[in-house]
Amino acid sequence: MRIVPVIALMWGGTSLLGAQARLGTIDFPTSGPPAAQAPFIEGVLYLHSFEYGAAVEAFRRAQRLAPDFAMAYWGEAMTCNHPVWNERDRACAMAALERLGPTRAARRERAPTARERSYLDAVETLWEDGPKPARDTAYTRAMEALAAAYPDDLEAQAFLALSLLGLHQGVRDVPTYMRAGAIAQEVFRRNPDHPGAAHYIIHAFDDPTHAPLGLHAARAYVGIAPGAAHAQHMTTHIFLSLGMWDDVVRQNEVASGDDHTHYRPGHYTTWLAYGYLQQGRFADARHLLETLRANAASPRARGVVANLTARYVIDTERWDGPEARGLGTAPPGEDGYAYATFVAGLAALRRGDRAAAEQARSALVPGGAPAVRPGDTGDRVVPVILERALRSALRLADGAGEEAVALLREATALEDGMPFEFGPPVVVKPSHELLGETLLALDRPAEAQRAFSRALELAPNRALALRGLARAAAAARDSAAAERAGAQLRAIHHAADADAGTMP
């Protein structure tokens, strides 16, 4: 029996788009009283857009209005699990659940319907004792059972899709992601205004190979949840995967807010800076970097600034500027240390300071490069890749071209073997791109053309790779390929600074 009709929310207040905040539309009937149902639905909508703080506030309002409303405590416990980010806080979840009842059995008695008991059972399963992978698997099994028992419950389907995305502990597993995407697509077909469906489609397909499957959802999500900053950013997971830089910049400007002077180092501003760099808007990127540096109040924030400074130097190729000279090397373990150390070394070499470049290379892998195993994540593999890249640049400077190329082929093999991570390239100077530049310097344009083409498969429309491809193709007398790459670069640089310097 339907207890509450379909609810389309237009919550009061100002959204990021300057209109009434809107979060999407869901149909999630419960046994809660109507007064508490409204903030409960608001909480679920925020939950679908990963606005966890706002979701907690909404669920607690529902609890205050109806202290026996079991699903409001379920919702708060759900905010303590961040599957895609590979984060969980058991103490947070148990604190919420124990306000409903002291034991699992007592809490279960407070859920008046079999369906609501199934939701509560699923979240209880998630927070039982045991290692995270085992609990995530058990939770997915519980959600599979719930979704099978209530096939018309789109929330069960949506949360099942989200649980699948979290099964592999932050590492993309393509078959599982495809299954999650298929489930979310069906929810989206049945409710085109569902924020979770659009969001989970994007997460399932946010790599260059599958991104076209998520483009419709990304376009739609912009208008589904203008009241959620994360929703506005999230669309750019698809746009970045397709090299759609105008869209990347626009949506991350929206997500970052109107008060530009108070922009802080973080996820949205990182993507915004990278988008500016690909557009050739180097002055805007530098201004943003200066603002973020002024507002970096914690070690983590300063690590983000180091990361972005390294990207700025790499993508502008301003080896002798204040950003390059200010990088220095950072000790292992600090956020951004590998990027900062590598770029400091490469910039020093470009300036002719061999000793500083050698010092940076040694600092990247103190004690020698660790063994790299298949499936290792970026924090372990990236310093090894960058050490190979910097050593290659040193050998090229020595005139040892074959050795330089061999080192870069090792680096590209390591990069190709890494699990894909969404976002700006996890290797600050993509190794295929550097290989292409090295081969071009050695007058091997056909090989360089292949290397740049591979770089663009991994990072579509990356400006330096497009420039390299245009130059390599021209040198190889492939005029059609050279013109295509040059035209694409000119298109993404339609608003570039006059001195951007990346035109072929």
Residue 17: which pLDDT band, with cuts at 50, 70 and 90?
A: very low
- Tokens encoding 219: 């376009």
All domains in the chain, ordered by first residue: 7-242 (1.25.40.10), 243-295 (no CATH)
Would the pLDDT of 223 be above 80?
A: yes
Would the pLDDT of 328 be above 90?
A: no
Q: Quick check: 407 and 391 in contact, CB under 8 A?
A: yes
Distance CA 47, CA 58 (A): 10
Task: Tell me the per-residue pLDDT of 329-350, one tens digit each, with 9 for 90 and over.
Answer: 555 555 568 899 999 999 999 9
- Tokens encoding 32: 């809660």
How many helices (H) does the chain have, and how many strands (E)? 26, 4
Question: What pLDDT score does 370 carry?
Answer: 67
Average pLDDT value for residue range 87-92: 95
Worst-scoring range by mean pLDDT, 264-273, 433-442, 458-467, 476-485?
264-273
Distance CA 206, CA 69 (A): 37
Q: Quick check: 193 and 8 in contact, CB under 8 A?
A: yes
Question: What pLDDT score does 4 carry?
Answer: 29
Distance CA 236, CA 234 (A): 5
Dihedral angle sign, alpha carbons of residues 455, 456, 460, 464: positive
* CA dist list (Å): 242 to 95, 210, 394: 42, 10, 33
Question: What pLDDT score does 20 carry?
Answer: 46
Distance CA 304, CA 407 (A): 28
Distance CA 237, CA 48 (A): 16
Distance CA 54, CA 33 (A): 21
Kind and range of the H or E run holding 82: strand 81-82
Distance CA 151, CA 148 (A): 5
Q: Tokens 């205004």 appear where?
A: 193
Distance CA 191, CA 290 (A): 43
Question: What pLDDT score does 333 carry?
Answer: 55
State in Å, rounded, how far the first CA of the chain is from the last one: 65
Average pLDDT, the chain: 91
Q: Quick check: 462 and 315 in contact, CB under 8 A?
A: no
Task: Tell me the per-residue pLDDT of 415-438, one tens digit each, with 9 for 90 and over.
Answer: 999 888 889 999 999 999 999 999
Question: What pLDDT score does 436 carry?
Answer: 98
Distance CA 199, CA 234 (A): 7
Task: Tell me the per-residue pLDDT of 292-318, one tens digit each, with 9 for 90 and over.
Answer: 999 998 888 888 899 999 999 999 999
Dihedral of the CA atoms 348, 351, 352, 357 (nearest 10)?
10
Better-predicted residue by pLDDT, 163 or 265:
163
Average pLDDT value for residue range 9-35: 68
Radius of gyration of the chain from its Cα atoms, rounded to whole angstroms: 25
Which pTM does this prediction carry? 0.92
For residue 84, the number of C-alpha atoms closer than 13 Å in the C-beta half-sphere is 22
Question: What pLDDT score does 170 carry?
Answer: 80
Average pLDDT value for residue range 247-257: 96
- Tokens encoding 323: 């950003």
Average pLDDT value for residue range 151-176: 94
Task: Tell me the per-residue pLDDT of 23-45, one tens digit each, with 9 for 90 and over.
Answer: 999 999 999 999 999 999 999 99
Task: Tell me the per-residue pLDDT of 374-423, one tens digit each, with 9 for 90 and over.
Answer: 666 667 789 999 999 999 999 999 999 999 999 999 999 999 998 888 89
